[in-house]
Structure 1
Amino acid sequence: MTAPTTIRALTVAPLDIPLHEPFGIASGTQEVAHNLLVAVELTDGTRGYGEAAPFPAFNGETQDMAYAAILAARSLVEGADVREWRRIALALPTLSSMTGSARCAIETALLDALTRRARLPLWAFFGGVATRIETDVTVPIGSIAAAARAAQAIVARGVTTIKIKIGAGDPDATTIHTMEHDLARIVAIRDIAPAARLILDGNCSYTASNALRLLDMLSVHGIVPALFEQPVAKDDEEGLRRLTATRRVPIAADESVASAVDAARLAQSAAVDVLNIKLMKCGIVEALDIAAIARTAGLHLMIGGMVESLLAMTVSACFAAGQGSFRFVDLDTPLFLAENPFDGGMTYHDGTIDLTQIEAGHGVTPRSPAL
């Protein structure tokens, strides 16, 4: 007899959502979130949903790559018992085509089905430490004027932490002077939001020497960032270590930490102060391992994401709030999307993410039956 928790089907569909305006980081720009919606259905009819949000400008992963990986995982998922979600998750990396966002989507759908069936909110599954967390809002790459407009809108929302993407130069200039342009944008944002906590995100665009020069230039203006995220190239561990050793500002690894092995190496070498966990980089099981390594090593935690909809962001919010101890929260990309194809999930109140209304699973359901 088939158990009611047996997984009957794993399905995947494109989830293409336009942005209000291009979302630019140092390595590229995205105008449409080319994501995927994954669903698992149990034999008792329970459905769980997950999202894959590949971001080619971040790590080269595409929608097609994630789609192929999810289809390849059907043989591991269908017919299995959802109560064995961790065993299934640990088997996913054995597939040669598997990607980070595909792992995240499948693991999310499994956990959503499991916790919906149990009538357990996902934030409680992860530990139940909190149901509200404060997030920053990002100013993407762009002109000085665009940065000022974005800062004004962020302040109007009541948000107190602003994350600033840097490293791509002035798109309106004939000759690009990246550092001077970044300085001008940061100063313009500070002038509009003098009380805000500022986070810089280099997305691998600086050298260690230039990052120190930028910090020197900012200090002349009385600006000390609360965090400098991934200032140097992904593989420049020595550059990270050099910056961290100065104790000028906390240094975070993002692109440099995509696995528990990465986290352990960075912790062992004292290369950074903070690890940025993104579920899309490695899935939930691996992210739990990264969080455990960080806590053991005395490193601070940050939660972030790719260009994700309400579904994936809600899962990350549950992950961070449920466990607690995340000092930096960067879960704002639903605010950049022109459409929301879902009901339920987290809500934004000024800079606060609220999970209290979620009764089971992550609480997010597609509005369209086509999804």
Structure 2
Amino acid sequence: MTAPTTIRALTVAPLDIPLHEPFGIASGAQEVARNLLVAVELTDGTRGYGEAAPFPAFNGETQDMAHAAILAARSLVEGADVREWRRIALALPALPGMTGSARCAIETAILDALTRRARLPLWAFFGGVATRIETDVTVTTGGIAAAARAAQAIVARGVTTIKIKIGAGDPDATTIRTMEHDLARIVAIRDVAPTARLILDGNCGYTAPDALRLLDMLGVHGIVPALFEQPVAKDDEEGLRRLTATRRVPVAADESVASATDAARLARNAAVDVLNIKLMKCGIVEALDIAAIARTAGLHLMIGGMVESLLAMTVSACFAAGQGGFRFVDLDTPLFLAENPFDGGMTYHGGTIDLTLIEAGHGVTPRSPAL
């Protein structure tokens, strides 16, 4: 006899959401969030939803790659018991072509179905430490005047931490011109938001010497960032370690930490102060391992995401709030989307993310039956 917790079906559909304006980082920009919606259905009719949000400019992963990986997982997922969520998750990486965002979407849908059926909020499943967290809001790459306007709008929302994407100068420009452009943008943001905490996100756009020079230039203007996230290339661990050793500013790994193995190596080599966990990089189970390694090693935690809708961002908020201890929170991309195809989930109140309205699972459901 089939148990009511058996997964009857795994389905996937495109989830294309336009942005108000391109979301730019040092390695490229995205005008449309080309994501995927995953659903699992149990034999008792319970449905759970997950989202894959590949971001080609971040790690080269595309919607087509994630779609193929999710379809390849059907034989593993369908017929399994949703209560065996960790066993299923641990088997996913061995499947051909499996990607981080596909793992995240499948694991999310499974855990959503499990906790919806149990009438347990996902924030409680992850530990129940808190139901509210404070997020930053990002100023993406672009011009100086645009950066100032974006910062003014962020402050008007009541947000107290601003994250600034840097390192994306003109492809034909010299490094010095790129640094001068970044400096001018940061100063313009500081001038309109003098009390805001500033986070710099290089997205691999700098070398260690140039990052140190930028910090020197900022120092002349009395600006000390609260964090410098991934200033150097993904594989430049020596550059990360060099910056961290100066103790000038806390340094975070993002692109450099996509697995528990990465986290353990960075911790062992004292390469960074902070690990940025993004569920889209590796899935939920791997992210739990990364968080455990960070805590054991005395590293600080950051939660972030790709260009994600309310669904995936709510899951990350539940992950961080439920476990607690996340010093840096960067869960703002739903604010950049021109449409919200979902009901439920987290709510924004200025810079506060509130999870108290979630009664079971992540609480997000698609408005359209086609999704």
Give the TM-score band, short-chain normalised: over 0.9
Residue 162 of structure 1: CA displacement? 0.1
CA contact (8 A) 2:107 2:284 kept: yes
Structure 1 partner of 2:98: 98
Change (3 A) 1:3 1:175: closer
CA shift, 1:174, in A, is: 11
Q: Tell me how far apart the structure 1 counterparts of residues 29 and 169 of structure 2 sit (CA, whole Å).
A: 13
**Structure 1 residues 99-118: Cα deviation after superposition (integer angstroms, max 9, x where no partner):** 00000000000000000000
Aligned-pair CA distance for 1:171: 8.9
Instruction: Look up the SS of the partner of 1:49 in the other structure.
Output: strand
Deviations along 1:213-267, one digit per CA (max 9) or x if unpaired, are: 0000000000000000000000000000000000000000000000000000000
1:90 Cα deviation (Å)?
A: 0.3
In structure 2, the partner of 1:355 is 355
The Cα shift of 1:170 comes to 5.5
Report deviation, 1:175.
10
The question of whether the paired residues in 2 share the 8 Å contact of 1:310 and 1:340 is answered with: yes
1:361 CA drift (Å): 0.1
Equivalent position of 1:123 in the other structure: 123
8 Å contact 2:72–2:96 — kept in the other structure?
A: no
Q: How many residues align?
A: 371
Work out the CA distance in 2 between the residues paired with 1:37 and 1:161. 30
| Equivalent pair of 1:35/1:53 in contact (CA under 8 Å) | yes
User: Where in structure 2 are there 5+ consecutive unaligned residues?
Assistant: none
Judge conservation of contact 1:10–1:74 (CA < 8 Å) in 2. Answer: yes
Q: How far, CA to CA, are the matches of 2:221 and 2:229 in structure 1?
A: 20
Task: Indicate conservation of the 8 Å contact 1:169/1:176, yes or no.
Answer: no
- Structure 1 CA distance, aligned partners of 2:280 and 2:249? 27
Moved over 3 A (4+): 170-176
- Seen in structure 2, the aligned counterparts of structure 1 residues 42 and 73 have a Cα distance that, compared at 3 Å, is same
User: 1:96 Cα shift?
Assistant: 1.9
Would the aligned equivalents of 1:142 and 1:170 in 2 still touch at CA under 8 Å? no
SS in 1 for 2:348: strand
- Tell whether the 8 Å contact from 1:304 to 1:329 is kept in structure 2 after alignment: yes
Q: Can you give the 5+ residue segments of structure 1 that lack an aligned partner in the other structure?
A: none
Q: TM-score, normalised by structure 2?
A: 0.99
Q: For the residues of structure 2 that align with 1:360 and 1:328, how far apart are their CA atoms?
A: 26
Look up the match of 1:197.
197
Local SS of the residue matching 2:164? strand
1:172: how far off?
12
Please tell me whether the aligned partners of residues 344 and 365 of structure 1 are also in contact (alpha carbons under 8 angstroms): yes
Q: Percentage identity across aligned positions?
A: 94
Residue 276 (structure 1) shift: 0.1
Secondary structure, counterpart of 2:175 in structure 1: coil
Tell me how far apart the structure 1 counterparts of residues 120 and 324 of structure 2 sit (CA, whole Å): 18
CA displacement at 1:177 relative to structure 2 = 1.4
Q: Deviations over 1:14-58 (max 9, x none)?
A: 000000000000000000000000000000000000000000000
Deviations 1:127-177 (A, max 9, x none): 000000000000000000110110010010000000000001159999981
- Asked whether the equivalents of residues 132 and 354 of structure 1 are also in contact (C-alpha less than 8 Å), the reply is yes
Give the distance between the partners of 1:334 and 1:11, measured in 2 at CA. Answer: 23
Residues 261-310 of structure 1 show CA distances to partners (whole Å, capped at 9, x for unaligned) of 00000000000000000000000000000000000000000000000000
Name the CA shift for 1:247/1:174 in 2 (closer, same or farther; >3 Å): closer
Contact 1:275–1:301 (8 Å) recurs in 2: yes
Q: CA deviation digits over 1:81-112, x for unaligned, max 9?
A: 00001000000001121000000000000000
Q: Distance in 2 between the 1:138 and 1:358 partners?
A: 25
Give, in whole Å, the separation in 2 of the partners of 1:334 and 1:7.
Answer: 29
Q: Aligned pair in 2 of structure 1 residues 245, 134: CA closer, same or farther (>3 Å)?
A: same
Aligned residues: CA RMSD: 1.3
Q: Which residue of structure 1 aligns with residue 237 of structure 2?
A: 237
TM-score of the aligned structures, taking structure 1 as reference length: 0.99
SS in 2 for 1:203: coil
CA distance in 2, matches of 1:170, 1:181: 10
Partner-residue secondary structure (3-state), 1:176: helix
